[in-house]
Amino acid sequence: GQNIDQPTEMTATEGAIVQINCTYQTSGFNGLFWYQQHAGEAPTFLSYNVLDGLEEKGRFSSFLSRSKGYSYLLLKELQMKDSASYLCAVGDSNYQLIWGAGTKLIIKP
């Protein structure tokens, strides 16, 4: 079967660093996406990894290890506006996205 696992909820402090993990088992692999979703809003694209390694984009970085079926999203210098759910999604062999349930990140002052 196909499965994406992420922690349900995480809490971090403003200004700190947080790492959100995602493990996956899918039929085929055509890239891994991270999306951000604020409460009551639509998901918005954050990052894409298809090769092993780290992709950095400002305060956000995403890492992929295909051999381990593992990714993480790293958020630095946390701001209150980063409070949101973070969704991990993997492209399967049909290029359809399989989604994790999301990790709700709570930022405390």
Partner 1 sequence: IAGITQAPTSQILAAGRRMTLRCTQDMRHNAMYWYRQDLGLGLRLIHYSNTAGTTGKGEVPDGYSVSRANTDDFPLTLASAVPSQTSVYFCASSDGQGVPDTQYFGPGTRLTVL
CB of 3 to partner 1, least distance (A): 10
Pick the binder of partner 1 from 60, 66, 76, 97 (CB under 8 A): 97
Q: Tell whether residue 101 is a contact of partner 1 (CB under 8 A).
A: yes
Q: Does 51 bind partner 1 (CB under 8 A)?
A: no
Structure tokens at 91: 């492209």
* In the complex, minimum distance from the CB of residue 31 to partner 1, in angstroms, rounded to a whole number: 5
CB 29 within 8 A of CB 88: no
Q: Are 98 and 2 in contact (CB under 8 A)?
A: yes
52 binds partner 1, rule: CB under 8 A: no
Provide the residue type at 48 as one letter: Y
Torsion of CA 100, 6, 88, 50, to 10 degrees: -120
Between CA 91 and CA 103 the distance in angstroms is 19
- In angstroms, give the least distance from the CB of 9 to partner 1: 11
Q: What does the binding site for partner 1 look like in residue numbers (CB under 8 A)?
A: 4, 8, 30-31, 33, 41-45, 48, 50, 87, 89, 91, 95-102
